[in-house]
Amino acid sequence: MSQLIQLFDFDGGIHPPENKHQSNHRPIRKAPLPDELVLPLHQHIGAPSKPVVSTGDTVLKGQIIAEPEGFVSAPLHAPTSGIVKALELRQVPHASGLSELCIVIEPDGKDTWIERQSLRSELGLSDADALPADEVVERIRNCGIAGLGGAGFPTAVKLHTGDHNIDTLILNGAECEPYITADDMLMREHATEVIRGAVILQGVLTAQRCLIGVEDNKPEAIEALKRAVSDNPEANGVLVVTIPTKYPSGGEKQLIQILTGKEVPSGGIPASLGIVCQNVATAAAIADAVDHGLPLISRITTVTGDAVRDKGNWEVLFGTPVSHLLNLSGYRAQKRERVVMGGPMMGFALPTTELPVVKTTNCLLAPTEKELPTNNMAMACIRCGMCADACPADLLPQQLYWFSKAQELDKAEQHNLFDCIECGACSYVCPSEIPLVQYYRHSKGAIREERAAAEKAEHARIRYEARIERQEREKAEKEAKRKARAEATAKAQDAKKAAAAKKAEAPAADPSSSNKPSDKPAAAPSVAAAGKPDPNSLERLKKKLDSAESRLEKARQRLSEAEAEGSEKVPAIREALEAQQAKALEAKAAYEAARNPQPESPAPVGTKPDPNSLERLKKKWDSAESRLEKAKQRLSEAEAEGSEKVDAIREAFETQKAKAAETKLAYESALNPAPVQQATSPEPVAEATPKPDPQSLERLKKKWDSAESRLEKAKQRLSEAEEAGSDKVEAIREALEAQQAKAIETKAAYEAALNPKPAPTEASEADKAPEINNKPDPNSPERLKKKWDSAESRLEKAKQRLSEAEAAGSDKVEAIREAMLAQQAKAAETKAAYEAACAPSLSSFTETEESQPETADVDPELEKLKRKVLAQKDRVEKARERLNMAREEGLGSVEALERALNKQIEKLADLEAQTSSAGEA
């Protein structure tokens, strides 16, 4: 038959021994059912499909067992009827040798089909009607058809050609790889289906012509196809083209060049030339899918190579183990055992034969050493240029090799490394037996990695900048709010001043009350000590504010200098500036807070500042400061090391700083009101005490609220990060936990401020009997108990959640477990606190009973120490626990935790020594 088109040649190419005769002399056989079918969810290019069956389900042949996920994906169908035995990770046939999720089906041997029908009858069309293109594409997608030539690209996706006007459909029947005869046999035996598929595809693409390219070493196939074309009245646009045998004529780009003389632009797709290329086997599968409703559940696979006795082609169900097929073919394991999936030029060697046949398995080649000798030692490249002559992409393989070897990736890329189709022709002809293709693969991988890293860095930069921006914005908002508030208070003050000025004519109480304080100190000396600071502290705060502002100014200057110089340290300096800014604001706030209450002090504030709470606040502040110190150290260490976690640590540092400032503020605000109370409410003690300070209450409430809202935000951020698979999840989680702790703290503070019921009694008691140990808040154990209880109940809940998550195999298990552990620690803490609160009261009782006369004044000190020891012990315990956890999980923080533990132990020893010395005294 005459060929109506002009053929072109592609540059390069080789003529390796064909070795096709071994496997193409006998018809395709149907492989019997194996004991189990292992179906990887990722048999195509694109996203893996999503299983829709679960273990124990009964499935019918052709039933969908996994649905496509996303556009570039393909569904998966049960190749036979049976039971889903497992959904588990199994090694899959991929060069990486990785394991992926597979559906394992145990066949029931009945091979019961699901109901299936042709697209025509499904749509209720008569034979005369044309099939609607989108319905055909949908059917192709639903039948799970992916390119059977070897790449496995979802066919339906390839048929979405967008704006490209397709005029030529090319069916690839070249099968240029040596040894493989699967397409050859398919064309011989299923020529009708191939041609029918061509007609369907042509209809979908509205292509004027369809060229089927077949190498001239397959005369039977060509004959069969031509017969099928003349038998099919619809196939008048289909042309079977015989092309010269030359490897790699079956490469999509090369076949297009041979048949049309056009080159697919580098990085482009054939559709841009008006061409779509499909494999002949894919066309046959499309015909089956459209005309018979057959999903893609099997393919034709060549089993060949001298290590198998019985070479030939099999129709194999997907999921059939390679070993099953090899055994059917009389496989004799060699000394240097090798099984290649695909051909000798581009196939990959399987790590084991216990791998399933998948949609792309066109050949299993089990060669003997004699047949395909393994490589000798590679010699040096002599730049003979034979590789360049063989390269079908017109590259300079020897240059690419030198660049790859020298890791000059940019030069390799410049020499069009990514146009390499990895056909292996260069390696084949290389007289020095250099594994050229491996070098290219390696370089490609390295370049891709580099690109990914650059992209990641870019993302990080964008994220960082966004964060800075957000922080600045939030700061500005806060500042605006604060200003508004300050203005409001200023106005109120003015109003009050005006009112005071009016009142000034008839005042007698005011000056007297302000002069009175000298009466009180005797009754409460500690308070007197605390009462002093006001004028002082105001001054101090003012000074602080001034210095902070001047430092801020300096920091600003430094920043602008750094920016002008384009120094690398700009971000660091900017951050420092921001910290300074925050500090200045804080100082200002503190100053204003200290200044305002004096004139204001409208409410008869609670008696004296609870000395306990004052102390506690001081302690809190101190510990926050020390923690801040540590965080600073850690940060500078991380910066010195150039650790990746610097950002995270810096964030933690900043939260720590904020906390320290907060505690300080809390302490100072607790310290300051004292004089006020003295000044204003000397007499109405009984009335005043029960009411908690509304102002501070409000502030605490606000604090709590803001902590809660921040916690909410942090939670959100964490879940977002988890979804995005960000690697900062850990850092964010830590921050979240810190936030959680803070929220609880603020809540506790608020509650403590809200329920100061004990205070009055205490106060009155203290008034009545000042020598009685008033420190262990009598009510506090109750509260602590409550806290403990709630912590326990929350722990219970967390445990439950964890076990649920574990059962569900959720990937958040780790996070939940951590939360649970944190909860546990908290429960233990509250318990310890409760016990500590209970125990001393008991012991103090006993002690006072035992040695009332002398120890009465020593007791409180000793008790305090003892309590401290207990708390410290608890802390040591916790640190140890944390360390163990870190060790178990192999976290990087082990060392730091060890150090922390040692410090705690030291502190404990210190305290114990103090206690014993105090006890002796």
Q: Which residue has the tokens 């009827």?
A: 81
Is 695 one of the binding residues for another protein (CB under 8 A)? no
313, 31 Cβ separation under 8 angstroms: no
425 or 865: CB nearest another protein: 425
What is the rounded distance in angstroms from the CA atom of residue 719 to the CA atom of residue 739?
Answer: 15
Is 268 one of the binding residues for another protein (CB under 8 A)? yes
609, 671 Cβ separation under 8 angstroms: yes
Binding another protein (rule: CB under 8 A), the pick from 121, 236, 375, 407 is 375
Is 293 one of the binding residues for another protein (CB under 8 A)? no
Binding another protein (rule: CB under 8 A), the pick from 100, 135, 389, 792 is 389
Binding another protein (rule: CB under 8 A), the pick from 382, 492, 808, 909 is 382
Binding another protein (rule: CB under 8 A), the pick from 5, 89, 123, 384 is 384
Residue 895: both structure tokens together: 């060392």
DSSP codes of every residue in 599-644: HH--S---SS--HHHHHHHHHHHHHHHHHHHHHHHHHHHHHHHT-T
DSSP codes of every residue in 170-205: EEEE---STT--HHHHHHHHSHHHHHHHHHHHHHHH
What's the closest the beta carbon of residue 431 comes to another protein, in angstroms? Answer: 4
The stretch among 32-40, 234-242, 395-403, 666-674 that binds another protein (CB under 8 A) is 395-403
What's the closest the beta carbon of residue 262 comes to another protein, in angstroms? Answer: 10
DSSP structure class, residue 31:
P
**Helices and strands (H and E) in the chain: how many:** 31, 17
351 or 521: CB nearest another protein: 351
- Touching another protein, residues 328-347 (CB under 8 A): 333, 336-340, 342, 344-347
> What long-range pairs does 515-520 form, CB within 8 A, spacing at least 24?
516/678, 516/679, 516/682, 517/675, 517/678, 517/679, 519/682, 520/678, 520/682
Instruction: Look at residues 276, 271, 289, 270 and name the one whose alpha carbon lies nearest to residue 75.
Output: 289
- Let me know if 641 is exposed, middle or buried by CB neighbors in 10 A (0-12, 13-18, 19+): exposed
Q: How do 348-349 and 340-341 pair as beta strands?
A: antiparallel
The stretch among 256-264, 290-298, 541-549, 788-796 that binds another protein (CB under 8 A) is 256-264
Instruction: Look at residues 213, 277, 274 and name the one whose alpha carbon lies nearest to residue 246.
Output: 213
387 or 744: CB nearest another protein: 387
Binding another protein (rule: CB under 8 A), the pick from 422, 668, 730, 874 is 422
Is 302 one of the binding residues for another protein (CB under 8 A)? no
- Touching another protein, residues 439-468 (CB under 8 A): 441
What's the closest the beta carbon of residue 385 comes to another protein, in angstroms? Answer: 5
What's the closest the beta carbon of residue 440 comes to another protein, in angstroms? Answer: 11
Binding another protein (rule: CB under 8 A), the pick from 22, 416, 596, 855 is 416
263 or 592: CB nearest another protein: 263
What's the closest the beta carbon of residue 347 comes to another protein, in angstroms? Answer: 6
Full 3-state SS string of 60-101: CECCEEEECCCCCCCCEECCCCEEEEEEEEEECCCCCCCEEE
What's the closest the beta carbon of residue 274 comes to another protein, in angstroms? Answer: 16
What is the rounded distance in angstroms from the CA atom of residue 43 to the CA atom of residue 360?
Answer: 7
419 or 510: CB nearest another protein: 419
Binding another protein (rule: CB under 8 A), the pick from 233, 267, 853, 890 is 267
The stretch among 418-426, 451-459, 551-559, 781-789 that binds another protein (CB under 8 A) is 418-426
What is the rounded distance in angstroms from the CA atom of residue 884 to the CA atom of residue 81?
Answer: 50
What's the closest the beta carbon of residue 661 comes to another protein, in angstroms? Answer: 51
- Touching another protein, residues 144-173 (CB under 8 A): none
Is 377 one of the binding residues for another protein (CB under 8 A)? yes
CB atoms within 10 A of CB 149: 24
What's the closest the beta carbon of residue 451 comes to another protein, in angstroms? Answer: 13
Give the contact letters, 173-192, x = binds to another protein (CB under 8 A), - = no. -----x--------------
Is 224 one of the binding residues for another protein (CB under 8 A)? no
What is the rounded distance in angstroms from the CA atom of residue 871 to the CA atom of residue 908?
Answer: 9
Is 859 one of the binding residues for another protein (CB under 8 A)? no
What is the rounded distance in angstroms from the CA atom of residue 554 to the CA atom of residue 575?
Answer: 14
What's the closest the beta carbon of residue 308 comes to another protein, in angstroms? Answer: 14
Q: Which residues pair with 279 in a beta bridge?
A: 172
Is 427 one of the binding residues for another protein (CB under 8 A)? yes
455 or 637: CB nearest another protein: 455
Binding another protein (rule: CB under 8 A), the pick from 146, 240, 243, 429 is 429
- Touching another protein, residues 355-374 (CB under 8 A): 365, 367, 372-374
- Touching another protein, residues 793-852 (CB under 8 A): none
- Let me know if 838 is exposed, middle or buried by CB neighbors in 10 A (0-12, 13-18, 19+): middle
Residue 702: both structure tokens together: 């606000």
The stretch among 423-431, 551-559, 573-581, 764-772 that binds another protein (CB under 8 A) is 423-431
Is 266 one of the binding residues for another protein (CB under 8 A)? yes
The one-letter amino acid at 903: K
What's the closest the beta carbon of residue 272 comes to another protein, in angstroms? Answer: 11
Q: Vertex 787, ends 781 and 792: CA angle to 5°?
A: 125
CB atoms within 10 A of CB 548: 21
What's the closest the beta carbon of residue 405 comes to another protein, in angstroms? Answer: 11
Instruction: Look at residues 276, 335, 337, 331 and name the one whose alpha carbon lies nearest to residue 304.
Output: 331
Is 414 one of the binding residues for another protein (CB under 8 A)? yes
Per-residue b or e along 803-832, where b marks 16 or more CB atoms closer than 10 Å to that residue's CB: eebeeeeeeebebbbbbbbbbbbbbbbbbb
Exposure on the CB side of residue 708, measured as CA atoms within 13 A: 10
Total residues contacting another protein by CB under 8 A comes to 77
- Touching another protein, residues 88-147 (CB under 8 A): 95, 97
Instruction: Look at residues 541, 625, 621, 547 and name the one whose alpha carbon lies nearest to residue 580.
Output: 547
The stretch among 385-393, 472-480, 586-594, 897-905 that binds another protein (CB under 8 A) is 385-393
440 or 834: CB nearest another protein: 440
Binding another protein (rule: CB under 8 A), the pick from 349, 452, 466, 909 is 349
Binding another protein (rule: CB under 8 A), the pick from 118, 438, 893, 914 is 438
What is the rounded distance in angstroms from the CA atom of residue 801 to the CA atom of residue 798?
Answer: 5
What is the rounded distance in angstroms from the CA atom of residue 254 to the CA atom of residue 264?
Answer: 9
Binding another protein (rule: CB under 8 A), the pick from 14, 214, 300, 548 is 14
Binding another protein (rule: CB under 8 A), the pick from 383, 616, 627, 747 is 383
Residue 219: both structure tokens together: 């005369």
What's the closest the beta carbon of residue 98 comes to another protein, in angstroms? Answer: 13
The stretch among 8-16, 156-164, 190-198, 616-624 that binds another protein (CB under 8 A) is 8-16
